[in-house]
Amino acid sequence: MRWITVVLLTLLVMLQYRLWFGKHSFPDYLAMQEEVAAQRAQNANLTQRNDLLKADINDLKIGLEAMEERARNELGLIKTGETFYRILPNDQ
């Protein structure tokens, strides 16, 4: 009877060791959960960025106003007959 108890206790210790320190252990599980949470946050940011890009694409496809706005802001272009005023901040 004593041998059975020793064998069962040894088996229990081996299983506990594997659970806490072995491959695919509980600390590995917790680390993987943190990686999943970080990846989900990154995916949410990328989804938001993609939605903004899709909105920009739709604006560019629909009308000339978005193209004109981009040309003015990014390239500094002006239409014929328009006057461009640049307001510089005060140095003081």
Domain count, the chain: 1
Q: Is residue 33 part of a domain?
A: yes
Q: Is residue 89 part of a domain?
A: no
With 80 as the cut, is the pLDDT of residue 66 above it? no
d(CA 41, CA 44): 5
CB 9 within 8 A of CB 15: no
With 80 as the cut, is the pLDDT of residue 88 above it? yes
Q: Is residue 56 part of a domain?
A: yes
Q: Is residue 31 part of a domain?
A: yes
Q: Is residue 86 part of a domain?
A: no
Q: Is residue 84 part of a domain?
A: no
Q: Is residue 83 part of a domain?
A: no
Residue identified by tokens 């959960």 is 33
Q: Is residue 70 part of a domain?
A: yes
Q: What is the mean pLDDT of residues 60-73?
A: 79
The sign one gets for the Cα dihedral 33, 38, 39, 41 is: positive
**Residue 53 banded pLDDT, cuts 50, 70, 90:** very high
3-class DSSP assignment, residue 1 = coil
Residue identified by tokens 């509980």 is 26
The domain of 55 spans 2-75
